[in-house]
Amino acid sequence: MWAHKKIIIITSAILTAVISFISCINNSSTPRDVRGTQYAEAPTCISCHKNINDSYVHTAHYNTSRLASAASINGSFTPPANEFAYSASMKVIMEKHGDKFYQTAYVNGIKTESHPFDIAIGSGRKAQTYLYHAGDEIHQLPISYFVPSASWANSPGFPANNIFFSRNIPSNCFSCHASAANVEVVQNGGLTPTEKYLPGQQILSIDCERCHGPAKLHVEYQTADPGDKVAKYITSIKTLSRIQKMDLCGVCHSGNKNWQKSIFEFKPGDALDNYRYPEFMHPDANSIDVHGNQVQLLLASKCYQQSATLTCLSCHNVHEKESRDMAVLSQKCMTCHTQENHNFCTLKPAAGVVLQANCIDCHMPAIPSKKITLLTNSKESPVPDYIRTHLIAIYNKKKTQ
């Protein structure tokens, strides 16, 4: 009898401990999402928006940063295609050891330094660069991958005659390539403050809440009332004004700015001018580099200036991978430019060319970037990355024969 009571007492104590432990977890002040308790965990979005998610995971926005792996790293790890030579005696070799990948420096055949691929930056459509954790800092690896030449290349801005592993990556680089990157700012007695990355405080990729805002209340409401099909407590992009839509895209597509405060704090509907220092000069569109300045170039286009509704989202469905489908994008042009409206293309098409199938290459051509250049093997000078300009214009007035 006593043994039976003893078992009951012990079992009750165990259950009490388990319940107490679960309660501590549920009431923990540590948010599950590093951005705060108002954010929902990403899988909760998928449970209701699976079709959108299944499409979105193939887009450049989603794949702009990922954990480095065999699936996410472009480029060969098989000799001799896995080498980048600075000179006959100095090279970096891309190596695979088990399930880990490394960039290893060799001088006169002697291994001098080696660091892992930890994070892949860039969707891999044009180029990729790679980062590694260096204690509480994050550094960029010296070798990137350049898709047009299908080869490894010296990372942009890196020395061409020296292997350099110590380039520190500030958190503002993540502001356009991730959804969160929490840091501790360390003051250095009058010197430039330094940033220390907090462990586990990065959310790679551009996730749903980066564009739609915190979703915890939305998830809780829609879960409790699934019959209400009008989204509550979440930002529906179609409800934003024209300038609010442009500001939302401009967070990442208006070039490098001097930010007054962390751009990670930006929420859809906010005014972008409240986050950056004002610009008193309006640069000539021809002086703006095509890399990352899509908003400014679009704003300078007559198509934008003569429209009351045109925004980035008029042409881009960010939930779908469509950037290389010229016919699909050209049909967006056809919504305004028609023969009936007397504003259709006046060029005589070449034999076999259907104008409606590709307005883009003529009026938004890919042009070389002055900011993003990569030095590939056996080349004496860097090769520019060709990026499609968003200054919509007539670039060749000569009629096609």
Quick: pLDDT tens for 352-361. Answer: 567 667 888 8
Determine the pLDDT at residue 280.
66
Prediction pTM value? 0.85
Q: What is the rounded average pLDDT of the residues 61-87?
A: 95
pLDDT tens profile 309-362: 999 999 999 999 876 778 888 888 888 887 787 778 777 766 556 766 788 888
DSSP 259: B
Structure-block tokens of residue 21:
């432990």
Q: Which residue has the higher pLDDT, 51 or 259?
A: 51
Q: Please say whether the beta carbons of 94 and 82 come within 8 A.
A: yes
The span from the CA of 264 to the CA of 304, in Å, is: 28
Average pLDDT over residues 242-259: 90
Distance (Å, rounded) from C-alpha 246 to C-alpha 198? 32
> Which residues are 373's β-sheet partners?
384
Look at residue 3 in the predicted model and tell me its pLDDT.
53
The pLDDT mean for the chain works out to: 86
What is the tens place of the pLDDT at every residue in 4-53? 554 544 544 444 443 344 334 344 444 578 999 999 977 789 989 999 99
Q: Is the pLDDT of residue 256 over 90?
A: no
Helix (H, G, I), strand (E, B) or coil at 298: helix
What are all long-range contacts of 171-177, with beta carbons under 8 Å and residues at least 24 apart?
Answer: 171/195, 171/197, 171/262, 172/259, 172/263, 174/65, 174/202, 175/251, 175/252, 175/259, 175/262, 175/263, 175/264, 176/64, 176/251, 176/252, 176/292, 177/64, 177/65, 177/121, 177/122
* 226-232 average pLDDT score: 89
Return the bridge partners of 259, or none.
276
Q: What are phi and psi of 382, to 5 degrees?
A: -65, 150
Residue 397: the pLDDT is 57
